[in-house]
Every structure is written in C-alpha cells, then in structure tokens.
Amino acid sequence: MQPVSTSTQALPTYPPEVHVALLTYLVQLADTSLVLGHRLSEWCGHGPVLEQDLALANIALDLLGETRSLYQYAAELEGQGRTEDDLAFLRPATEYRNPLLVEQPNGDFAHTIVRQFLFDNFHYHLLQQLQHKPDERLAAIAEKSVKEAAYHLKWSSEWMIRLGDGTEESRQRLEKALRTLWRYADELTTPTPAEQTLQTAGLLPDYASLLPAMQAHTARVFADATLPLPEGVVMQQGGKLGRHSEHLGYLLAELQYMQRAYPGMTW
C-alpha cells in the first residue's frame, strides 16, 4: 500500500520523444491499476463469502498503491506542479489511457475472475521484465508490484480452475464471461506508439517476448479448468489511446465526484 517514494532521487533525462512517451506510459499504467482497483473495490461488502471479500480488497489495495507510485512519478516527471490527485481526479475520460478490459463492469464473480486473470497474466509477466529495465524509478515500482502481481495471478488462476472445473453452473458462467471479455485481451500486448517508442529506447520489454510465458500459463490454467481456449474472437482496442467503452464515463463520474463538486479543496 505504501507508495514507492524516491523523490530525493534525481529525475532521469531522456530525449524529448522518449520523455513524452514515458510520461504517457506512466499515466497509462497508473490509470490501468486505478480503474481496475476501483472496480474491485466495488465488491467491498458484497463478495460471495467473507474470506473472498478480504481477498478482493487486498488486490484492490495493492493496485491502488501501485497507482499512487506511478502518478507521483508521472507528476514529478511532468514538472508542472500537478499531484497524484490532479492526475486521477481532474482528467476527462478521453485522457484516460487504461485498456478497455479493466473498465468493464464487475458482472458476476466469473466476469470479475476472467477480467482479473487476463489482466494478472499480462501484468505479472510485464512487471517481471520491467523491474530489470534501466529507468530506475519505474524499475523500483515494478519490483515492488511484481510480488503483489504474482499473488494476484495465483489467486485468479486458482479461481479460473475452480469455476471451470466446478459445477455445471459455474462453468457456464465462466464460459459466458470468457465470451464477453476475451475480446479485450489483445489490447494489453498491442503496443501503442508511446509503448513502441519506449521499447525502441529499451525502457520497456518487447511484448512479443512476454507472449510465450503468458500463453504457457494460460494453457496450463485452461487445461486444469478443463476449458477450451476461445477461438475466432474479434478483438477490440482503443482504451490505451483514450477511446473507451461507455462504462468508463460512469466510473469516472463516481470516482471524480468530490473533486469536481468541490474544486481546489484539501481532504
């Protein structure tokens, strides 16, 4: 939960296009964990069993902690006096850069699990490499978050298996959730121009290099869950470039309500 604070550290200097790309990317990562954390926090008090209420909140808290570290770094790198809260609460939906997957509504528990699994599988494998990349501040954030993400992936993978190889009902619900959410999977590993710039500069792993491990893990989990991999799904993209589904607007209306209704105050 404690954000990684290294504000005493000097900020790195990069060529202008890399600097801009890094800023964009930090905000993208932060938006992603904020939006997903927000969704998970909606479960609080409504989980299927008390123990899982705690688990969902733990994951949400981890993501929120990651969010704050990333926004703080972005705000410093930007150097225009904005704060983490300015970035979270005062940008319109079109400036939010989270992938479409994470803004999708919770639905039933199966939808939440599928969304989480798809995200965790990418997130964990990304952070694993990101922690060794040369941007020190980002690497430090990744190093802290990767431990959390490893746990998240374990949790969501086990639930995929339980629901897939559970009862007839759970299997049907899981398959329905897969049909709904699989279409948002590819966006995670499709680089935006900003991500490409960072990959070229060596600050970000090539997403193709993540795929073998991600696919192997998916194959293992689907086999244990006795599920076939979805096929022939038409993929959707756009969130990372600010083109969102209709769900994000409502999410932000709630998230940003206080700061919009009472501008410029301290809370």
Partner 1 sequence: MTQQEWPLWEVFIRSKQGLDHKHVGSLHAADAAMAMQNARDVYTRRLEGVSIWVVESRHIHASNPDDAAAFFDPAADKVYRHPTFFEVPDSIKHM
Partner 2 sequence: METLELTQEEQFQARIDADERIEPKDWMPDAYRKTLIRQISQHAHSELVGMLPEGNWITRAPSLKRKAILLAKVQDEAGHGLYLYSAAETLGASRDQMLADLHSGKAKYSSIFNYPTLSWADIGCVGWLVDGAAILNQVPLCRTSYGPYARAMVRVCKEESFHQRQGFEIMQTLCEGAPEQKAMAQEAFNRWWWPTLMMFGPKDEDSPNTERSMQWRIKRFTNDELRQKFVDMMVPQAEFLGLQVPDKDLHWNEDKKAYDFGEVNWDEFWQVVKGNGLCNHDRLQARVQAHEDGAWVREAALAHARKRAEKAVS
Contact footprint for partner 2 (CB under 8 A): 1, 34, 38, 41-42, 44-54, 57-58, 60-61, 64-65, 67-68, 71, 84-85, 88-89, 108-109, 161-163, 165-167, 169-170, 173, 254-255, 257-259, 262, 265-267
b/e sequence 163-188, b meaning 16+ C-beta within 10 Å: bbeeeeebbebbbebbebbbbbbebb
For residue 246, with 0-12 CB atoms within 10 Å meaning exposed, 13-18 middle and 19 or more buried, which class applies? exposed
50 or 234: CB nearest partner 1: 50
- Find the shortest distance in angstroms from Cβ 116 to partner 2: 14
- Find the shortest distance in angstroms from Cβ 101 to partner 2: 19
Binder of residue 163, out of partner 1, partner 2, none (CB less than 5 to 8 A by kind) = partner 2
Distance of alpha carbon 162 from alpha carbon 169, whole angstroms: 12
- Report residue 153 as tokens: 């992936």
In the complex, the residues that contact partner 1 under the rule CB under 8 A are: 49-52, 54-55, 58, 151, 154-155, 158, 162
- Find the shortest distance in angstroms from Cβ 183 to partner 2: 24
89 or 151: CB nearest partner 2: 89
- Report residue 222 as tokens: 């689907």
Residue 155 is inside which H or E element, if any? helix 136-164
